[in-house]
Structure 1
Amino acid sequence: MTTIRIRNTEDAVSGIAALATKVIAAGGHEGHDLETVGTRMTSDEVLDAIRRSFSANIRRGLNTREAFTATGQSLIAHYCNAANIPTREV
């Protein structure tokens, strides 16, 4: 198990981007290797979206861990939907 220290929003943003990248790349879908997904996840647009989502989750009353998890799940689902990657087995 990995421990992630979140001292501020930027720690959360980088941690969410890194973990989401690993999870998506681990799916082994063509065109979505670690380097390609990492490049997409570290674009200013995506990092800003992560920041907004995490902050919104905190404002809604989620604790840091809950906000981190909710933001990461949402990010992975959005990425997979946009890339036509199935998010569950059929």
Structure 2
Amino acid sequence: MTTTMRIQNTEDAVAAIAALATRVIAADNRPGRSLEEVGERMTADDTLDAIRRSFEANRTKGLSVKDAFTRTGQSLVAHYCNSAGIPTR
């Protein structure tokens, strides 16, 4: 399935990254990782601020919007998994 997103600014990217990461992490339906539980963590102010900082830092490094979006999302999922003890390999 292909989805087209229109990212007009950093806030669009932050919202989309948080939403997609939530769905990815909650996809395995394990205890403590329901869509609601993961969504609550992903929409916490500190998490949204971290996503914003990462996306903007990646753009500052010269990455395209698409590449900054991808790199930020990958980092977010990996960090969440590592902090929750979820194997990433």
Percent of aligned pairs sharing the same letter: 67
Aligned equivalent of 2:23: 22
Gapped regions of structure 1 (runs ≥ 5): none
Correspondences of 1:21-60 after superposition (within 5 Å): 21-60=22-61
**TM-score calculated relative to the size of structure 2:** 0.96
**TM-score calculated relative to the size of structure 1:** 0.95
Code of the residue aligned with 1:72 in structure 2: it is G
Partner deviation per Cα, 1:13-49 (whole Å, 9 max, x = no partner): 0000000000000022220010000000000000000
Code of the residue aligned with 1:79 in structure 2: it is Y
Q: Kindly report the root-mean-square deviation, in angstroms, between the aligned alpha carbons of the 2 structures.
A: 0.7
Secondary structure class of the residue paired with 2:30: coil
Gapped regions of structure 2 (runs ≥ 5): none
Aligned equivalent of 1:85: 86
Secondary structure class of the residue paired with 1:35: helix
- The separation in 2 between residues aligned to 1:47 and 1:2, in whole angstroms, is 22
